[in-house]
């Protein structure tokens, strides 16, 4: 290839589903051109857009004289390797999402910018050889500088600037000042200590844990997927850690995905106590620069463990050894806007491409995963009992029809709370609705407080005396009287604020706390609550689903589902599965320590077979009968689904678009696909827009995707495709 006929196929973050050809700039040495390099290009009216070289070719489909030159190359060497690039291409293909946006989504924020990566290189600091600590009374040395010197003196290895900045905010200036005086010195590359020390586990494994660990370790160098199916508290995390121990000792890396709510300081501490290795932890609280550092540590192999929520699945690894997703059924693994990918599914794809094992852990596996286990595509490992001394909780269904109620709480539940308080135990009350009252209603004329844009009832929040729309977030001042007839408005339907109020009345002397999105806005507030709960400073914890998952509070003996009926009669085909999962998750919060736990379920439908099935036979039994139902109606996992979501202010445009799109898909696919629509979304109106869907089902996944590819090109050209907002969701997890 001479410089003359080199064409760069560049991915650019735009909704257009293609790559863009550019010419190298005149000064470029063509030998350094490689896929995986970022380039600065002009695109449309923008002068400096960050593009990404996907391939280098000697042909182009475009007239050569029309091609622009790139402005310059941003990196010295590719920021990701070919394997990782291929994964991104695969994802773009599978989710039918534009490659430019897929790559953009997969990179840490700083790499999306039009800046060279060397600007972000970390530096490492240590004391100069002939340094003796200066006279502390010296006027020219600041208190921070003295602290930094003291810190460096204690350490045997050089310390990263990122880390110093964390301990001493704004350390950069002090470091430069100290360097000028010759007291400390800088290295750009760390003479890495590569410390790998793994502590012995603190518990003695039971036979089921041993069996699970042995099974995984027997095929540690091959790809298989393991479903680790164990009750909450059955010791799954111990199993992950024992397997990771082996992987790390063999010099490889572990990627562990956790649901958004699962990445708690307690869990992080457990990993840190066990593994004295570099751990890259990715969560939403990180600064951009920390995020980049962890990303690079993973890429260079320095970090042996990568712990993170959904987006951590995009972390490049030098030497992958195992992939783990805890609570694999959790909905937070699916991104619901923009690029709608499933981190759990992608993780399995990665494990397969890398030829290493993947573990999916859950107490309530999703039906997709369970079905793969039933069909022997996954290896099913079971931990049937709680680890240590903890026993399974006892269930109590409380029929609240015609019973004395205090707001949402029955007298019977209040009595039980009292009993548990007297024994100095902790209590957890779960209600998946925040605010005080879910409806404001005029008994006289029938007026209801509604969001104008979403046509759903507004929720009254007592804490700030406002009416909020829980869909679009709009909010207005509370009103007491009906705007039409001036009668006093009734407050109906209960939220977590109301429970808290009743408890304060009934138990004025105990510590009550409420965890929901309203009380956890501030950074760290969740952790403060969790600390208080662990130290016994909270007696009764009220909360939404945020408290249902994952937490280990050994002193909780009573967990109550305040309103179990929501979800019993939903039209979403996944509603029963979700309700059963939630039911089990809440029950998993009680009786985790030495004391026996109780689960109380308040319901108007105490005879509903779902509850009896769950209590008597457990989740797996119920899940298997749900799988049979799905088979009879050819629903996932017994078919493959895609969803075309369409929304606009004008309802006719929305329906017209779907009918038209549906017709075109029918023409392409004949009878091979099942099409339903336009059907209204479960949230039919949102922020003033009407929302409808086309449901697409197929028995053959390959065929489905082949048709979708051709179809998308057609829809993009359809006349009113610019007048509506539309997106395609592959393997949708909700019909909202
Ligand atoms: P899961 O991840 O399934 O919820 P964990 O691994 O967190 O379960 O275990 C729950 C609790 O039981 C933890 O405190 C853990 O240290 C403890 N534990 C785990 N395995 C054992 C065991 N074999 N013997 C005693 N305690 C154990
Ligand atoms: Zn009225
Ligand atoms: Zn609204």
> Residues 447-468: pLDDT tens digits?
999 988 888 889 999 999 999 9
Cβ of residue 206 lying under 6 Å from some atom of ligand 1: yes
DSSP string, 423-486: TT-EEEEE-S--SSEEEEE-TTT--B-B-TTT-SBPEEETTTTEEE-TTT--EEE--SB-TTT-
What confidence category does residue 541 fall into, taking pLDDT thresholds of 50, 70 and 90? very high
Q: Are 716 and 710 in contact (CB under 8 A)?
A: no
Q: For residue 195, how many other CB atoms are within 10 A of its CB?
A: 10
Indicate whether 193 pLDDT > 60: no
User: What is the pLDDT at residue 115?
Assistant: 80
Measured CA angle at 428 (ends 583, 391), to 5 deg: 65
Q: Are residues 370 and 228 in the same domain?
A: yes
Would you call 274 exposed, middle or buried from its count of C-beta atoms within 10 A (0-12, 13-18, 19+)? buried
What confidence category does residue 537 fall into, taking pLDDT thresholds of 50, 70 and 90? very high
Cβ of residue 203 lying under 6 Å from some atom of ligand 1: yes
Taking residues 79-84, report their average pLDDT: 92
Q: Are residues 137 and 202 in the same domain?
A: no
Q: Are residues 615 and 532 in the same domain?
A: yes
C-alpha of residue 444 to centroid of ligand 3, in Å: 25
What confidence category does residue 188 fall into, taking pLDDT thresholds of 50, 70 and 90? low
The number of domains in the chain is 6
569-588 residue pLDDT tens? 777 888 889 889 988 888 88
User: What is the pLDDT at residue 189?
Assistant: 61
Ligand nearest to the CA of 489: 2
Rank 114-123, 145-154, 195-204 by mean pLDDT and report only the highest. Answer: 145-154
Output DSSP code: residue 674: E
Longest dimension (CA), the chain: 87
User: What is the pLDDT at residue 191?
Assistant: 45
* Residues 268, 592: Cα–Cα separation, whole Å: 20
C-alpha of residue 390 to centroid of ligand 1, in Å: 10
Per-residue tokens: 230: 């164990």
Q: Are residues 21 and 44 in the same domain?
A: yes
Q: Are residues 659 and 694 in the same domain?
A: yes
C-alpha of residue 474 to centroid of ligand 3, in Å: 6
Q: What does pLDDT average to over the chain?
A: 89
In a domain, 721, yes or no: yes
320-340 residue pLDDT tens? 999 999 999 999 999 998 999
* Residues 115, 107: Cα–Cα separation, whole Å: 13
What confidence category does residue 539 fall into, taking pLDDT thresholds of 50, 70 and 90? very high
Indicate whether 615 pLDDT > 80: yes
Output DSSP code: residue 488: B
CATH of the domain at 302: 3.40.50.300
* Residues 729, 39: Cα–Cα separation, whole Å: 30
Q: Are residues 336 and 441 in the same domain?
A: no
Ligand nearest to the CA of 448: 2
Cβ of residue 382 lying under 6 Å from some atom of ligand 1: no
Q: For residue 204, how many other CB atoms are within 10 A of its CB?
A: 8
DSSP string, 307-333: EESGGGGG---SSEEEEEESSTT-GGG
What confidence category does residue 133 fall into, taking pLDDT thresholds of 50, 70 and 90? low
Taking residues 407-416, report their average pLDDT: 95
Sheet holding 46-57, edge to edge: 20-22, 7-11, 46-57, 38-43, 72-73
Looking at ligand 1, which residue's alpha carbon is closest to its atom 10?
Answer: 233
Cβ of residue 234 lying under 6 Å from some atom of ligand 1: yes
Give the start-end residues of each E strand in 20-173. Answer: 20-22, 38-43, 46-57, 72-73, 124-127, 159-160
Per-residue tokens: 473: 């977030």
Indicate whether 182 pLDDT > 60: yes
Ligand 1 pocket test: which of 202, 234, 235 has the largest number of ligand atoms within 8 Å of its C-beta?
235
> Phi and psi at residue 342, in whole multiples of 5°?
-110, 115
In a domain, 644, yes or no: yes
Indicate whether 593 pLDDT > 90: no
In a domain, 129, yes or no: yes
Looking at ligand 1, which residue's alpha carbon is closest to its atom 15?
Answer: 235
486 CB-near residues (< 8 Å, 6+ apart): none
* Residues 443, 447: Cα–Cα separation, whole Å: 8
Closest CA to 482 of 431, 444, 517, 436: 444
User: What is the pLDDT at residue 592?
Assistant: 79
Least confident of 115-119, 583-587, 590-594: 115-119
Q: Are residues 607 and 663 in the same domain?
A: no
Taking residues 281-303, report their average pLDDT: 88
Owning domain of residue 610: 394-434+495-629
What confidence category does residue 1 fall into, taking pLDDT thresholds of 50, 70 and 90? very low
Q: Are residues 562 and 415 in the same domain?
A: yes
User: What is the pLDDT at residue 177?
Assistant: 87
* Residues 82, 89: Cα–Cα separation, whole Å: 10
User: What is the pLDDT at residue 552?
Assistant: 79
- The pTM is what? 0.86
Q: Are residues 486 and 511 in the same domain?
A: no
Q: For residue 175, how many other CB atoms are within 10 A of its CB?
A: 22
Closest CA to 458 of 448, 446, 445: 448
Compute the residue count for the chain.
Answer: 736
In a domain, 389, yes or no: no
- Quote the distance between the C-alpha of residue 349 and its chain's center: 18
Q: Is 83 left (phi over 0), alpha (psi -120 to 50) or beta?
A: alpha
Ligand nearest to the CA of 327: 1
In a domain, 421, yes or no: yes
Q: Are residues 579 and 508 in the same domain?
A: yes
281-291 residue pLDDT tens? 988 778 888 89
Q: Are residues 417 and 550 in the same domain?
A: yes
675 CB-near residues (< 8 Å, 6+ apart): 662, 665, 666, 694, 695, 696, 697
User: What is the pLDDT at residue 372?
Assistant: 96
Taking residues 133-161, report their average pLDDT: 77
Ligand 1 atom at shortest distance from the alpha carbon of 388: 25
User: What is the pLDDT at residue 157?
Assistant: 76
* Residues 638, 698: Cα–Cα separation, whole Å: 9
Indicate whether 382 pLDDT > 90: yes
User: What is the pLDDT at residue 175?
Assistant: 86
What confidence category does residue 734 fall into, taking pLDDT thresholds of 50, 70 and 90? confident
621-664 residue pLDDT tens? 999 999 999 998 889 999 999 999 999 999 999 999 999 999 99
Output DSSP code: residue 129: T
Indicate whether 130 pLDDT > 70: no
Sheet holding 640-648, edge to edge: 674-686, 689-698, 640-648, 725-730
Closest CA to 289 of 111, 73, 124, 80: 111
Q: Are 325 and 359 in contact (CB under 8 A)?
A: yes
User: What is the pLDDT at residue 344?
Assistant: 98
């Amino acid at each position: 290839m001479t410089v003359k006929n080199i064409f760069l196929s560049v991915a650019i973050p735009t909704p257009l589903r293609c790559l863009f050809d550019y010419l190298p700039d005149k000064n470029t040495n063509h030998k350094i051109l490689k896929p995986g390099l970022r380039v600065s290009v002009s695109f449309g009216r923008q002068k400096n857009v960050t593009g990404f070289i996907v391939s280098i070719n000697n042909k182009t489909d475009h007239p050569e004289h029309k091609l622009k030159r790139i402005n310059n190359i941003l990196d010295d060497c590719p920021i990701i390797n070919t394997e990782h690039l291929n994964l991104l291409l695969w994802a773009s293909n599978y989710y039918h999402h534009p490659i430019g946006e897929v790559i953009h989504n997969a990179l840490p924020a700083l790499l999306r910018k039009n800046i060279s990566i060397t600007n972000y290189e970390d530096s490492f600091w240590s004391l100069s050889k002939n340094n003796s600590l200066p006279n502390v009374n010296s006027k020219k040395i600041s208190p921070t500088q003295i602290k930094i010197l003291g810190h460096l003196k204690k350490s045997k290895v050089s310390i990263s600037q990122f880390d110093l900045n964390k301990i001493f905010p704004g350390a950069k200036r002090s470091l430069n000042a100290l360097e000028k005086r010759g007291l400390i010195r800088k290295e750009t590359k760390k003479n890495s200590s590569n410390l790998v020390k793994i502590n012995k586990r603190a518990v003695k494994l039971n036979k089921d844990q041993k069996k699970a660990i042995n099974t995984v370790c027997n095929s540690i160098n091959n790809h298989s997927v393991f479903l680790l199916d164990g009750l909450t508290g059955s010791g799954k995390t111990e199993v992950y850690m024992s397997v990771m121990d082996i992987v790390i000792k063999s010099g490889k890396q572990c990627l562990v995905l956790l649901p958004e709510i699962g990445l708690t300081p307690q869990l992080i501490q457990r990993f840190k106590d066990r593994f004295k290795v570099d751990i890259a932890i990715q969560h939403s609280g990180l600064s951009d620069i920390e995020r980049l550092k962890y990303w690079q540590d993973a890429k260079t192999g320095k970090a042996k463990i990568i712990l993170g929520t959904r987006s951590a699945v995009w972390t490049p690894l030098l030497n992958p050894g195992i992939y783990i997703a805890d609570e694999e059924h959790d909905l937070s693994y699916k991104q619901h806007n923009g690029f709608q990918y499933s981190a759990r599914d992608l993780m399995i794809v990665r494990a397969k491409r890398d030829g290493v094992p993947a573990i999916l852990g859950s107490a309530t596996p999703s039906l997709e995963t369970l079905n793969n286990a039933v069909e022997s595509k996954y290896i099913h490992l079971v931990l049937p009992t709680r680890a240590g001394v903890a026993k399974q909780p006892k269930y109590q269904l409380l029929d609240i029809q015609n019973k004395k109620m205090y707001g949402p709480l029955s007298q019977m539940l209040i009595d039980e709370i009292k009993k548990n308080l007297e024994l100095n135990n902790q209590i957890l009350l779960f209600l998946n609705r925040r605010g005080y009252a879910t409806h404001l209603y005029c008994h006289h004329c029938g007026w209801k407080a509604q969001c104008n844009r979403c046509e759903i009832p507004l929720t009254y929040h007592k804490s700030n005396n406002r009416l909020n729309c829980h869909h679009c977030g709009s909010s207005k001042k509370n009103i007491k009287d009906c705007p039409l007839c001036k009668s006093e408005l009734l407050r109906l339907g209960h939220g977590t604020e109301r429970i808290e109020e009743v408890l304060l009345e009934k138990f004025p002397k105990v510590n009550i706390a409420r965890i929901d999105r309203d009380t956890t806005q501030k950074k760290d507030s969740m952790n403060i609550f969790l600390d208080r709960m662990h130290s016994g400073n909270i007696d009764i914890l009220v909360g939404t689903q945020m408290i249902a998952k994952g937490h280990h509070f050994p002193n909780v003996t009573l967990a109550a589902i305040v309103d179990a009926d929501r979800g019993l009669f939903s039209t979403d085909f996944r509603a029963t599965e979700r309700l059963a999962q939630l039911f089990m998750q809440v029950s998993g919060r009680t009786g985790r320590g030495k004391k026996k736990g109780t689960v109380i379920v308040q319901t108007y439908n105490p005879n509903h077979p779902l509850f009896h099935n769950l209590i008597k036979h457990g989740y797996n039994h119920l899940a298997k009968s749900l799988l049979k139902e799905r088979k009879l109606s050819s629903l996932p996992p017994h078919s493959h689904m895609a969803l075309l979501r369409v929304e606009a202010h004008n309802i006719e445009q929305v329906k017209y678009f779907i009918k038209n799109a549906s017709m075109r898909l029918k023409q392409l696919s004949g009878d091979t696909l099942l099409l339903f629509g336009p059907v209204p979304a479960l949230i039919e109106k949102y922020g003033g827009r009407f929302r409808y869907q086309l449901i697409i089902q197929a028995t053959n996944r390959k065929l489905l995707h082949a048709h979708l590819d051709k179809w998308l090109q057609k829809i993009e050209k359809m006349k009113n495709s610019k007048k509506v907002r539309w997106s395609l969701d592959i393997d949708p997890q909700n019909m909202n």
